[in-house]
Amino acid sequence: MKSPLSVWTIIVQTVGLVCLSLPTTIIAQSCTPSTTTSGNCTRQRFSNLGVIIDRIGVVGPEECFWDGPPPTDPAVTSPAYNIPQGSCALIARHPTQGWRFGLILPPPSQYKRRFFATGNGGFNGGINWPEFSFAPHYGAAVVGTDTGHNSSDAGSGSQDGMKWVTDATKRTNWAYQAMDGAVHFGKILTNAFYGSGLSVERAYFSGCSTGGRQGLKYIQRHANDADKMDGVIIGAPAWNLKEMLPNQMNTAIANLHRQADGNITSTPVLERAEWAALTAAAFALCDAKVDGSSSANYNPGGDKVVSIDDCFTGNETEYNESLKRVAPNLTDEQRLAAVAIYKGLVVAVNGAKMTVFPGPQPGGEADWTLALGTGLETTFDQGLAQYWLADARAGTPWTVNSWDSIYKDGLTGKQWVYRESTRSGSTINEPTADDFAAMANYEGKLLLYHGIADGLIPVASSNKLHREITNIKAEGEWFRYFQVPGMHHCAWYPNGNPAMGFPYIDTSYPPWYIAAAYQPSTIGSSQGYGVPGHDDPPDPAYDAIQAMIDWVERSSSPSPASLIATAFNSSSVVRTRKLCAYPQKAVYTGSNINDSSSWTCTTV
Ligand SMILES: *[C@@H]1O[C@H](CO)[C@@H](O)[C@H](O)[C@H]1NC(C)=O
Ligand SMILES: *[C@@H]1O[C@H](CO)[C@@H](O)[C@H](O)[C@H]1NC(C)=O
Ligand SMILES: *[C@@H]1O[C@H](CO)[C@@H](O)[C@H](O)[C@H]1NC(C)=O
Ligand SMILES: *[C@@H]1O[C@H](CO)[C@@H](O)[C@H](O)[C@H]1NC(C)=O
Ligand SMILES: *[C@@H]1O[C@H](CO)[C@@H](O)[C@H](O)[C@H]1NC(C)=O
Ligand SMILES: *[C@@H]1O[C@H](CO)[C@@H](O)[C@H](O)[C@H]1NC(C)=O
Ligand SMILES: *[C@@H]1O[C@H](CO)[C@@H](O)[C@H](O)[C@H]1NC(C)=O
Ligand SMILES: *[C@@H]1O[C@H](CO)[C@@H](O)[C@H](O)[C@H]1NC(C)=O
Q: What is the pLDDT of residues 519-547, one digit of tens each?
A: 888 776 567 899 988 988 999 999 999 99
Q: What is the mean pLDDT of the chain?
A: 85
Mean pLDDT of 348-363: 86
pLDDT surpassing 50 at residue 299: no
- The finding on whether 507 has its CB within 6 A of some atom of ligand 7 is yes
b/e map 285-306, b = 16+ CB within 10 Å? bbbbbbeeeeeeebbbbbbbbb
pLDDT category at 28 given cuts 50, 70, 90 is: very low
pLDDT category at 194 given cuts 50, 70, 90 is: very high
Question: How far is residue 365's CA from residue 368's CA, in Å, rounded to a whole number?
Answer: 5
Mean pLDDT of 123-152: 94
pLDDT category at 501 given cuts 50, 70, 90 is: very low
Question: How far is residue 300's CA from residue 278's CA, in Å, rounded to a whole number?
Answer: 12
From residue 256, alpha-carbon distances to 175, 251, 379, 401, 443 in Å are 30, 9, 15, 10, 47
10 Å Cβ neighbour count for 86? 18
Which pLDDT belongs to residue 427? 94
Mean pLDDT of 266-277: 89
pLDDT surpassing 90 at residue 487: no
Ligand 1 site residues, Cβ closer than 6 angstroms: 67, 70-71, 98, 148-150
pLDDT surpassing 60 at residue 15: no
Which pLDDT belongs to residue 485? 82
Closest ligand, as measured to the CA of 195: 2
Least confident range of 301-305, 384-388, 441-445, 464-468: 301-305
Highest mean pLDDT among 70-79, 154-163, 206-215, 492-501: 206-215
Peptide bond into 4 cis (omega under 30): no
Give this prediction's pTM: 0.92
Mean pLDDT of 321-349: 91
From residue 419, alpha-carbon distances to 354, 389, 391 in Å are 13, 10, 12
Q: How many CA atoms lie within 13 A of 277 on its CB side?
A: 17
Which pLDDT belongs to residue 156? 58
pLDDT category at 428 given cuts 50, 70, 90 is: very high
pLDDT surpassing 90 at residue 497: no
Question: How far is residue 454's CA from residue 443's CA, in Å, rounded to a whole number?
Answer: 30
pLDDT surpassing 90 at residue 257: yes
Main-chain phi, psi angles of 527, to 5 degrees: -80, -75
pLDDT category at 3 given cuts 50, 70, 90 is: very low
Q: Is 198 exposed, middle or buried (0-12, 13-18, 19+ CB in 10 A)?
A: middle
**Cα angle 527, 528, 534; round to 5:** 60
Distance of CA 464 from the midpoint of ligand 6 (Å): 39
> Taking the chain, what is the end-to-end CA distance rounded to the nearest angstrom?
41
Distance of CA 300 from the midpoint of ligand 6 (Å): 23
Can you say how many angstroms the Cα of residue 48 is from the centroid of all Cα atoms in its chain? 35
Which pLDDT belongs to residue 30? 79
Which pLDDT belongs to residue 499? 43
pLDDT surpassing 60 at residue 294: no
Can you say how many angstroms the Cα of residue 115 is from the centroid of all Cα atoms in its chain? 21
pLDDT surpassing 60 at residue 96: yes
pLDDT category at 62 given cuts 50, 70, 90 is: very high
10 Å Cβ neighbour count for 410? 8
pLDDT category at 280 given cuts 50, 70, 90 is: confident
- The finding on whether 320 has its CB within 6 A of some atom of ligand 4 is yes
Distance of CA 531 from the midpoint of ligand 5 (Å): 45
Which pLDDT belongs to residue 37? 96
- The finding on whether 297 has its CB within 6 A of some atom of ligand 7 is no
Distance of CA 288 from the midpoint of ligand 7 (Å): 21
β 202-208/231-235 pair status: parallel
Question: How far is residue 31's CA from residue 143's CA, in Å, rounded to a whole number?
Answer: 19
3-state secondary structure of 333: helix
Q: Identity (one letter) of the amino acid at 429? A: N
- Name the residue with higher pLDDT: 313 or 164: 164
Closest ligand, as measured to the CA of 72: 1
Q: How many residues does the chain have?
A: 604
| Mutual angle of helices 272-291 and 332-343, in 10-degree steps | 70
Instruction: Give the contacts of 39 (CB within 8 A, at least 6 positions apart).
Output: 58
577, 363, 357, 359: which is closest to 484 by C-alpha? 577
Which pLDDT belongs to residue 448? 98
- The finding on whether 297 has its CB within 6 A of some atom of ligand 3 is no
pLDDT surpassing 80 at residue 187: yes
Question: How far is residue 389's CA from residue 96's CA, in Å, rounded to a whole number?
Answer: 26
Least confident range of 122-136, 294-308, 508-522, 572-586: 294-308
- Name the residue with higher pLDDT: 115 or 588: 115
- Name the residue with higher pLDDT: 151 or 308: 151
Question: How far is residue 478's CA from residue 446's CA, in Å, rounded to a whole number?
Answer: 6
From residue 460, alpha-carbon distances to 297, 406, 457, 474 in Å are 24, 30, 8, 19
Q: What is the DSSP string of 257-270?
A: EEPTTS-EEEEESS
Q: 472: part of which helix (H) or strand (E)?
A: helix 459-472
Task: Give the residue, by CA position, lying nearest to ligand 4 atom 1.
Answer: 320
3-state secondary structure of 562: strand
